[in-house]
Structure 1
Amino acid sequence: MQRPRSIPWSRVATITLVVVCVGYAPIAMTGLWPYAHPGAPALGEWVLARAVSGRYAADAVATRVGPYGRALLPMIIHSVLGGALMLLGPVQFLTAVRRRTRLHRATGVVFAVTVYVSMTGAAIYLVRTAPADAFSGAAFWIDLTTILIGTVMSVTFGIFAAVGGFPDLHQRWMLLCYGYLLTAPLLRLEWGALPRLFPGLSMEEINRVAIMHLGSVVVFGALVASRAMDRRRSVTGVRGTWVPTPVLVAAHLAGAAGMAWIVRSYLGWGANGHRLLAAYLVPYCAAYAVMFARQRTAGRGGRSWAREEWRLHWAGLCLAPAFSVAAALPLERYLGLDSLTALSAGVGIGCGVLAFAATVVVSLRVMYGRELVKRQGPATAPSAHRIPAPAAPTASVTPHTAPHAVRSARETI
């Protein structure tokens, strides 16, 4: 009996991504209709009411009327175009995989313009809304602002990489950009799933739980996708590592100190702190374990480039807790936030910011390698005396000329 063929995980992941994006697109496009016209049908509200409860969905709408009312038109533009981006993303991914270059470029231009316009609408809302007045509070406002900046900068760097002739870096930046965008549908999924895990929590409290790990989840997914699409064992000009053992040890020590501060702080805030800490630690530890294992496997297999990229992002992940603690201090002081809100905001943006920084370092690594090859090219190119001289032309030998050729050869010897 023939064994059934296993389905590659990459294909499963691709199908899942397409289903989530296509399913979320109409929810995003109609999400703000009830705020413009009370009672208007909204697919997302209908799904949420049946996934959790009608009161849960109604309370969620009621608590967002005030914040969204400050910039309703820009938010409608943002949500409608956000739904369009959910459709354009899979098109970009599939055309890149299928090598449809012209279609990929054309839809890429549309995608970039849509990102800029959609993020402009979100920026207007954030500028008009004070952090404390935002839906779900200041920590959520800070997280949204960071995602907006990361999305715009990622697509911009992706454009620069494409124009500069770095398709591998272009791919990484666009995957990171789409990872940031995927926080929207993943948050909606958590609106329906987390109330079953934490019954009785409002949507505002669910959002505070979600921001503890959404950033780390999406950037980790972008990294996994980048590595799955890059099968090169090495990259020209990239030698050695920018993350030697002393640097990695220092990153671990700094991260351990930051993590100890985070754990101690949340354990002192009762059940709410315990819940937020668990939402942060579980995905963080999973990402850490995968990065550690993958860089080790790549090193043993002689895949130097895969090992280097995994190690760069691993170091960034180690530094994320230290960055979160360092970011919480100015947030608490200059925005007047309480210590729990400030630390939650820092934790919410830590992994996303450090993954962005790691992608910057990866890009510099590749560009430095190319520049190194250009500078060393003339010096390392084979010289003229190393090139074998072309062989003298040999006359064709026919049956009639064979005896003369043999006689000539004997005379030469």
Structure 2
Amino acid sequence: MVVTVVCLTYAPIAMTELWPYARPGAPAPGEWLLGRTVSPEFVAEAVRDRIGPYGRSLVPLIVHSVLGGLLMLLGPVQLLSAVRRRIRLHRAAGTLFVVTVYASMAGAALYLVRTPPEEAFSGAAFWIVLATILVGTVGSVTFGVLAALRGFPDLHQRWMLLCYGFLMTAPLLRLEWGLLPSLYPGLGILDINRVAIMHLGALVAFGALLASRALDRRATVPGLTGTWCPLPVRLTAHLAGAAGLGWITAAFLDEGAAGRRLLVAYLVPYAVTYAVLAVRAARAGIRGAHWPREEWSLHLVALCLAPAFSAVTAPVLEGTLGLDRMTALVAAVGTGCGVLAYAAVTTVSLRILHARETLQRTGRATEPPAVRGRGPKAAEAPAATGAAPEGGRG
């Protein structure tokens, strides 16, 4: 319900956000609301900083923002129609959703291609985070479509929820524009954006995982045996994560007050996410729910590896793109949790596919000789073992 309210509220703001850049004086409810929530000076700074970068790609960006508003409306329709099993509505809205995602992201891609990172709104770190979100959104919706076409509704659901999670970074960023200035009075839009991107990727991916797990009530998946997260893997991931967190902490502390502010914005949401994943995995293990434990554990391992990924990526960005140390650090940390969450969903998908392949091999191996190779009857064997209903509640 909260997500639906946020989406419905943000949709008209997104659709009209860039109109004043094309026609001065055009209605802009987002600017009006932000000016009264924070201050007119804060809004003026945000507008001033966007005029130059947006002016090069105004038409693609207007297309991106208008279609982005439409996506905010289509998302709740998709979720509610899936929950209520309204298949025709879900498929029709889903087709429109996918086409709109591709068209909206094409507009964003044109802006990013035409704008050098150092000249982008809020700087190079923000440009890198936006590019990462774009790739994640397009990749997620593509895998979601492929999963639906191949008849894997549980995988389709996970990828589409992750896609919508990435899309939710837009309204959540605007909420942070309204809230963070009260925590950090006097901070400009560039610094506010840097604080926000420290945790937005982790937040939306975490939300997509919670939604996936809430909709998937299965205690086990047919064909799922063993675990891809044995103790050595978990220990290695925790050690790598601890080393990465140590490096990130030291790097931010070297940057003074600004670094400490960004470190807190990263560590607090990270710690909360880690605690929830660890507790959920442990509880699932105690009650013998093998599949939930496996999925929570895979995401927990990915979360542990995110700081290590960021620690390795920061020097690479600094060297290859010629960024200063702080910008490279912000970009690497801002993308780390989102990238690893994407990797976790990929691994979960492979885990489910592996389980189904195992089930099919087991079914073929245990079929009576008289049934093997007899066309339709052979095809019925996996359904008898429970493969067909597997995705029904996913």
TM-score range, shorter chain: over 0.9
Q: What SS class does the counterpart of residue 122 from structure 1 fall into?
A: helix
- Residue 331 of structure 1 is matched in structure 2 by 317
Q: What SS class does the counterpart of residue 219 from structure 2 fall into?
A: coil
Structure 2 gaps, min length 5:
371-394
Distance 1:238 1:118 in 2: 38
- TM-score normalized with structure 1 length: 0.89
Distance 1:84 1:46 in 2: 21
1:187-202 aligned within 5 A? 187-202=173-188
Work out whether 1:218 is the aligned partner of 2:204.
yes
- Residue 124 of structure 2 is matched in structure 1 by 138
* Higher Rg: 1
Structure 1 gaps, min length 5:
1-14, 385-413
1:142 Cα deviation from its structure 2 partner: 0.1
Distance 1:294 1:381 in 2: 38
Distance 2:364 2:25 in 1: 72
Which of 350, 359, 363 in structure 2 is aligned with 1:377? 363
Q: What SS class does the counterpart of residue 25 from structure 2 fall into?
A: coil
Instruction: Give the letter aligned to residue 281 of structure 2.
Output: Q
- Residue 349 of structure 1 is matched in structure 2 by 335
Work out whether 1:84 is the aligned partner of 2:70.
yes
Instruction: Give the letter aligned to residue 137 of structure 1.
Output: G
Instruction: Give the letter aligned to residue 292 of structure 1.
Output: A
Alpha-carbon RMSD across the aligned residues, in angstroms, is 1.1
Distance 2:142 2:254 in 1: 42
1:381 Cα deviation from its structure 2 partner: 3.7
Work out whether 1:50 is the aligned partner of 2:39.
no
Deviates more, 1:54-63 or 1:71-80: 54-63
Which of 267, 276, 285 in structure 2 is aligned with 1:281? 267
1:382 Cα deviation from its structure 2 partner: 6.3
Instruction: Give the letter aligned to residue 257 of structure 1.
Output: A
Distance 1:123 1:105 in 2: 27
- Residue 10 of structure 2 is matched in structure 1 by 24
1:102-117 aligned within 5 A? 102-117=88-103
- Residue 125 of structure 1 is matched in structure 2 by 111
Work out whether 1:100 is the aligned partner of 2:82.
no
Give CA deviations for 1:358-410 in whole Å, capped at 9, x if unaligned: 100000011111111112212224688xxxxxxxxxxxxxxxxxxxxxxxxxx
- Residue 240 of structure 2 is matched in structure 1 by 254
Distance 1:212 1:62 in 2: 24
Which of 185, 200, 207 in structure 1 is aligned with 2:171? 185
1:161-172 aligned within 5 A? 161-172=147-158
Distance 2:179 2:284 in 1: 35
- Residue 264 of structure 1 is matched in structure 2 by 250
Distance 1:108 1:40 in 2: 32
- Residue 318 of structure 1 is matched in structure 2 by 304
Work out whether 1:66 is the aligned partner of 2:66.
no
Deviates more, 1:367-376 or 1:258-267: 367-376
Instruction: Give the letter aligned to residue 20 of structure 1.
Output: V
1:128 Cα deviation from its structure 2 partner: 0.2
Distance 2:70 2:110 in 1: 19
1:62 Cα deviation from its structure 2 partner: 1.2
- TM-score normalized with structure 2 length: 0.93
Distance 1:44 1:380 in 2: 63
1:104 Cα deviation from its structure 2 partner: 0.2
Instruction: Give the letter aligned to residue 117 of structure 1.
Output: A
Distance 2:167 2:35 in 1: 24
Which of 199, 206, 222 in structure 1 is aligned with 2:192? 206
Q: Report 1 or 2 for greater relative contact order, CA contacts < 8 Å, sequence distance ≥ 6.
A: 2
Give CA deviations for 1:227-246 in whole Å, capped at 9, x if unaligned: 00000000011111001000
1:29-40 aligned within 5 A? 29-40=15-26
Instruction: Give the letter aligned to residue 246 of structure 1.
Output: P
Which of 214, 222, 225 in structure 2 is aligned with 1:228? 214
Which of 271, 275, 278 in structure 2 is aligned with 1:292? 278
Give CA deviations for 1:141-183 in whole Å, capped at 9, x if unaligned: 0000000000000000000100111100000000000000000
Instruction: Give the letter aligned to residue 350 of structure 2.
Output: L
Q: What SS class does the counterpart of residue 237 from structure 1 fall into?
A: coil
Distance 1:41 1:232 in 2: 48
Instruction: Give the letter aligned to residue 205 of structure 1.
Output: D
Distance 1:320 1:47 in 2: 35
Distance 1:290 1:251 in 2: 17
1:71 Cα deviation from its structure 2 partner: 0.2
Distance 2:205 2:73 in 1: 20
Distance 1:341 1:20 in 2: 31
Distance 2:369 2:279 in 1: 43
**Matched residue count:** 371
